[in-house]
Structure 1
Amino acid sequence: MGETGTTSGGKYVEPGGEFSRDQRYIATRITADGSDGYPVEPGRYRLVVSRACPWANRLIIVRRLLGLEDAISMGVAGPTHDELSWTFDLDPDGRDPVLGIERLREAYLARHPDYPRGITVPALVDVPTGQVVTNDYAQMSLDLSTQWTAHHREGAPQLYPEPLRAEIDEVNAVVFADVNNGVYRCGFAGSQKAYEQAYHRLFDRLDWLSERLAEQRYLVGDAITEADVRLFTTLVRFDPVYHGHFKCNRQKLTEMPVLWAYARDLFQTPGFGDTIDFDHIKRHYYEVHRDINPTGVVPLGPDLAGWLTPHDREELGGRPFGDGTAPPPPPPAERVDPAHTPLR
């Protein structure tokens, strides 16, 4: 997930070793029955994200597909951060207009004054108290599907349908280990051995995914599920960031025909491509990870026009939203800067 570091000499690589992600999160849940003390309540919580972060991007997509924009407001942090926290530098006066804070760190410390770990996005914040509720990104997106059903839009898709949950969980587990986190294991490897192990594990899994998706349009079942959301946010960042910056360079996504067509299919689906800000994505990785890219120079490429080319995946059948419907366009205040996306 979006980890804090520093924009001047931050440490992400473990010298001589293998990258290990701290997966201890604030596990409090917002549930329909309020069993953790935070009941589902429209207007009470604010989702804080950065469009740069793949883990936060999942929540942006799921919230959009389910039509929860009116129920859960969204604050967008800037694409870079310093050693303390993500900041709201996109907002007037550098403050989130709802929470009134300059740094996401303030919401974490409001609940846990001695919070010992990184200040991460996505995070759900309780607006009345200004306290972070949870940053457990994997559970957060599932809870949007299962706990907020009373506030889903009419025609919302089933992203985590009960009959498919075991298979979705199984696919998600290997995709997380080898792909979502696998690109980071390549990029932050501190030794040649650790890098090569991560590299082979990543591309072996991408080959496995290519085989799986060669004859079926989506990862599980015949409609988009949580599994597709989780894979997409890594694939969409592959050529702009992971191929070069993280040395995941056996092939570009554009050189993997099945995965490239699959990614374009999703990108052109309402709720996916319209959440992607390529400028924020590139600025985050290349400016923040100074131990990998000391100059902070951000590459101008790649050309984005290919994202809008025909993918022909509809020939495999499937219905993007199952028995549901496409979401409406994003609210004007949440639209990506047209200069940062090919979807102009």
Structure 2
Amino acid sequence: MTAGDNTNAGGSDRHVPVLLAEVLAHLEPAAGQVIIDGTFGLGGYSRALLDAGASVIGIDRDPNAVIDGQPMVSAYDGRLQLVLGRFGDLDEIAAGQGHDKVDGVVLDIGVSSMQLDEAERGFSFRFDGPLDMRMSQEGPSAADVVNTMEARDIARIISVLGEERRAGAVARAIAQDRVAKPYLRTSELAGLVERVVGKKPTDPIHPATRTFQALRIYVNQELDELGRALAAAERVLKPGGRLVIVAFHSLEDRIVKRFLADRSEVRAGGSRHLPERVLAAPTFTLMSKGPVVAGYEETSRNPRARSAKLRAGIRTEAPSRPFDARAAGVPALPEFKVARS
């Protein structure tokens, strides 16, 4: 997986899963265990878990990933169950495969190199292709969003999910220009954003990066799915089970950090004026105080690893709790709807 649209997010290292050694060290896979790989992708984590002796429930919302993974299903003689679905439903998917509880869950958040490298999927402006971006290949596409939603809603999406400072200007330009000709190709939208935002030779990223990232996250409801997946992992992990998440962007990592911090707290601090507020028993024990990041050797070999942050927790015996998406940092965004003519 990788964050955003990075020209380094492919190439010779496209099959190398990021932080693989660290993921395995935190999960400690072994024979007899059942581990959910909620973001199967190219199968890098799943293969390593299977080679360590564990059984794996692989989940991916992209039909192409499930089709391409069938040779792995055959090769591991029944120890890999590969399911088309969303990782926000991972507890229900596990139950459907005969496992009410599992020993581990791993999530690699973002878009896969496989998707970025396929021009016809429309995730990247590095290649001209249809403005699509749908991981599941169904529902509203990025073209639907930019060509039919109100400018103010497009601006909020780009501002919140892309952290683009000129989101308003980009949205207004889209709304003005689409009257004459809708935006149907990645190159067309990238050209507009570059014209509006401007490009300096010293800029480390292309000016369309943030806008494309925002549209991709919105189209696939990635942050909402992440929140649902964290809550589902809490429900499905057995005591002593391990949750490992690798995130590539601050928006994703912030949600993971808040979730694990909240779930590992025993009490909130009081003051001399207010009594200490006792919270519910913690559902996770943190495996490290801060994020685990890739070392120099890996980042030199695989530039995609530079922005990766791994966070992990061990499930306690405490019952799972209701999940508050907004408190965890999942933003409220406008619903998809066609603008008034």
TM-score under structure 2 length normalisation: 0.25
TM-score under structure 1 length normalisation: 0.25
Higher RCO structure (Cα 8 Å, ≥6 apart): 1
As a proportion of its length, which structure holds more strand?
Answer: 2
Larger CA Rg, structure 1 vs 2: 2
